Amino acid sequence: MIDLSESNNEWLAVELKMCRAVLGLSQRELALLTSMSPQSIKRLEKKGANARYKTILKLRKVFGELGVYVQVDVEGVISTKLTDELIDAINCGEGKRYLDSKMEYIISIQEEWFT
């Protein structure tokens, strides 16, 4: 497994873009969920982004709460993992409602999570 937590690597940009794409989130929406600026998200998605470990954990916490994780094996194969809860919501045609509910929840507890 490749360590996606190393700072100053391209894997972070790939991970952010993949998770956002799977969830259908804009950079602005992700910024709102993480209490970051849209410019910060944009910068992190560029090649050579240098994020603090705390920032990486914050992003992964939000993605995890929304139900998506990314893994890269030693050969560079990228896997996106969805939680059963997200899969069930998508299969029932409730993916948008599920994400809206999760986003509302995250926004309501940001102060607890990120302070």
Tens place of pLDDT for every residue, the chain, 115 residues? 555 555 446 778 888 999 999 999 999 999 999 999 999 999 999 877 788 888 988 999 999 999 999 887 888 788 899 999 999 999 999 999 999 999 999 999 988 887 7
Residue whose C-alpha is closest to residue 3's, from 87, 60, 85, 44: 60
E-only strand ranges, the chain: 68-72, 78-82
Place of tokens 């916490």: 61
Domain ranges of the chain: 10-114
Q: What is the value of pTM for the model shown?
A: 0.85
Domain 10-114 sits in CATH at 1.10.260.40
Continuous segment of H or E residues that includes residue 97: helix 95-114
Residue whose C-alpha is closest to residue 58's, from 85, 19, 87: 19
